[in-house]
Structure 1
């Protein structure tokens, strides 16, 4: 047993880490004996990638990654629902029978099966007829719904919600085709809110990021890259909308524009979430060093970077534990082993 500093999802706390009889690493928050040796590093839970496309990658690779949660922002809702169920063993044990019971042991064994990170999903892109990504070869069958009316929107939102979606994805890419008018986009946002689902908007093209914020979107799937936002526009965004970074998918000048926007958005108090658009080109099926580097270039480092990565609470037995030595650099994160507990 070693004393250790850990991140609980909000800040740094103190606890102990130990290996059980099977060599599995566990973390507990307890009063620390004065003579307890200290682990040379910190513990966090598995990181979150807030923008992935699981149908476009080899999902088996995720089992050995440092990701504890992934959020799919556009795909076939039936496929994604099955993936989410497959990984649903990685849920909290809080509602399971007390430790020592037969059921507790069965569930704990399931948790130790390398299923991969918890999967959340938006389901299909909602887009106007002919809108992005309906004309893209990479878009899997069933990965978008073309919405022409309020009735279409209501049916699509209900379909995603009933399948287990945790948010709704809207495409608003004026560079690639038609976009919803204000009335229909606002209606989709209201329909989603009635099902307690936030709306994430792919906002691309002049004015689209500002329009999404004005009409009530909860998040942008990409930090704005089509244009440099004014400081006044940044302030409005920071007060109401979260940005998912996806900086590394761009080349200049879009990359430079996105990083400049993120730097000022973060400085204004906006919430930036780590996301890579995994599956968009040859992205790692793991933590993306290029995305981390771009966030640091935008001034997001240290505790702010950890918050952007949204690690799970490592006190939860369902959480992947990650060990970060020295300066707590997420790029050096790995899963701890009993060898780390040897003096």
Structure 2
């Protein structure tokens, strides 16, 4: 048993770590003065708010420091089955090494498939854990819209919507499959986008099912438009254009942004990072997300994404909030040990029973 400092999702608290029936458990409780204190601090498993599990070796997540992922575009039947399976540990010892794919810096580029990936295995972790998978199911897109013409899009991973009835049906299908949100493609640089009425109809149908709409907004004015029409989150921090300060303030008051900065480079990265910096300074909610599966992204925590967020002014506790760690008081959470409250999240490692004996 050890006294411990832990992160509850908003700030730091005191608690006690104990080994109960072979499991490391944390409870919020003021420790006795003479109870030895664990070096470092405790957080729950981190969250990647934008992944594509059909495009990576998802088994590597069991050995990573990610405890939860949100899949934003997949065949709903396949990803629902993965969600169920990944609640249990699939391998005795998995690792989070970077599954490498063909280079790709554009958000709307060609994703790589697991069949083409070259796995780089790290021996940093020797423990495996369950992973919580939330998902949107299929992209909802206009007829001929993104990503319907992309080779990387798995069979069944998009639904082409022409009218309100089809929108209602697609939302119901995703909800019945277990979706926690709805993904809408609004990519004006790669094909048609929904008109305002049909986008609103999707939002209405999703809201009736208790589901938020997450929009891939790309093209001039699309980020502002989808926010005005009711999207709750942007799947990518706006990167097509620099938003002015009034637009940033309006966005900060109405939507959250999933970062995905590290998929960009050059001027596009500079634009996205500048938007994120001002959005965060305006009180906007920035969520860590990598678009895992788009190019050479690690299957686990992405140091490049963390570095880009820090460069945009999101550091220390704000960075932990963006990572949305699981509540370590929840017995189902992955428990991670960090060297300190301001430590680089890449230094986190799974807590083990040996930590209580040190």
Same fold (TM over 0.5): yes
Alignment-derived partner of residue 76 in structure 2: 77
Aligned residue for 2:13, secondary structure, equals strand
Alignment-derived partner of residue 97 in structure 1: none
For residues 43-97 of structure 1, give each alpha carbon's deviation from its aligned partner in whole angstroms, at most 9, with x where no partner exists: 000000000000000011010010010000001000011111223469xxxxxxx
Assess if the C-alpha contact under 8 Å between 1:60 and 1:116 holds in 2: no
> What is the distance in 2 between the residues matched to 1:315 and 1:89?
19
> What is the distance in 2 between the residues matched to 1:19 and 1:252?
49
Aligned residue for 2:346, secondary structure, equals helix
Alignment-derived partner of residue 131 in structure 1: 145
> What is the distance in 2 between the residues matched to 1:173 and 1:324?
39
Question: Is 1:341 aligned with 2:356?
Answer: yes
Question: Is 1:329 aligned with 2:344?
Answer: yes
The 1:115/1:81 distance shift into structure 2, 3 A limit, reads: farther
> What is the distance in 1 between the residues matched to 2:130 and 2:304?
22
Could you tell me how far 1:16 is from its partner in structure 2? 1.2
Alignment-derived partner of residue 264 in structure 1: 278
Two-structure CA RMSD over aligned residues (Å): 1.4
The 1:165/1:247 distance shift into structure 2, 3 A limit, reads: same
For residues 32-51 of structure 1, give each alpha carbon's deviation from its aligned partner in whole angstroms, at most 9, with x where no partner exists: 11111111110000000000
> What is the distance in 1 between the residues matched to 2:87 and 2:339?
30
Aligned residue for 1:258, secondary structure, equals helix
Could you tell me how far 1:197 is from its partner in structure 2? 0.5
Alignment-derived partner of residue 11 in structure 2: 11
The 1:257/1:184 distance shift into structure 2, 3 A limit, reads: same
Structure 1 gap ranges (5+) = 91-112
The 1:31/1:77 distance shift into structure 2, 3 A limit, reads: same
Aligned residue for 1:253, secondary structure, equals helix
For residues 199-226 of structure 1, give each alpha carbon's deviation from its aligned partner in whole angstroms, at most 9, with x where no partner exists: 0000000000000111110000000000
Aligned residue for 1:127, secondary structure, equals strand
Could you tell me how far 1:339 is from its partner in structure 2? 2.7
> What is the distance in 1 between the residues matched to 2:132 and 2:354?
27
> What is the distance in 2 between the residues matched to 1:268 and 1:250?
23
What pairs with 1:282-293 in structure 2 (closer than 5 Å)? 282-293=296-307
Count matched residues: 320
> What is the distance in 2 between the residues matched to 1:84 and 1:124?
15
Assess if the C-alpha contact under 8 Å between 2:87 and 2:131 holds in 1: no
> What is the distance in 2 between the residues matched to 1:249 and 1:130?
24
For residues 3-48 of structure 1, give each alpha carbon's deviation from its aligned partner in whole angstroms, at most 9, with x where no partner exists: 11001122211011133463x3221222311111111110000000
Could you tell me how far 1:328 is from its partner in structure 2? 2.7
What pairs with 1:209-228 in structure 2 (closer than 5 Å)? 209-228=223-242
For residues 287-316 of structure 1, give each alpha carbon's deviation from its aligned partner in whole angstroms, at most 9, with x where no partner exists: 000000000000001110000000011111
For residues 150-202 of structure 1, give each alpha carbon's deviation from its aligned partner in whole angstroms, at most 9, with x where no partner exists: 11101100000111100000000001011001111111111111111000000
Alignment-derived partner of residue 41 in structure 1: 40
> What is the distance in 2 between the residues matched to 1:297 and 1:30?
36
Alignment-derived partner of residue 185 in structure 2: 171
> What is the distance in 1 between the residues matched to 2:332 and 2:130?
11
Alignment-derived partner of residue 147 in structure 1: 161
> What is the distance in 1 between the residues matched to 2:350 and 2:263?
27
Alignment-derived partner of residue 122 in structure 2: none
> What is the distance in 1 between the residues matched to 2:50 and 2:130?
16
> What is the distance in 2 between the residues matched to 1:171 and 1:200?
9
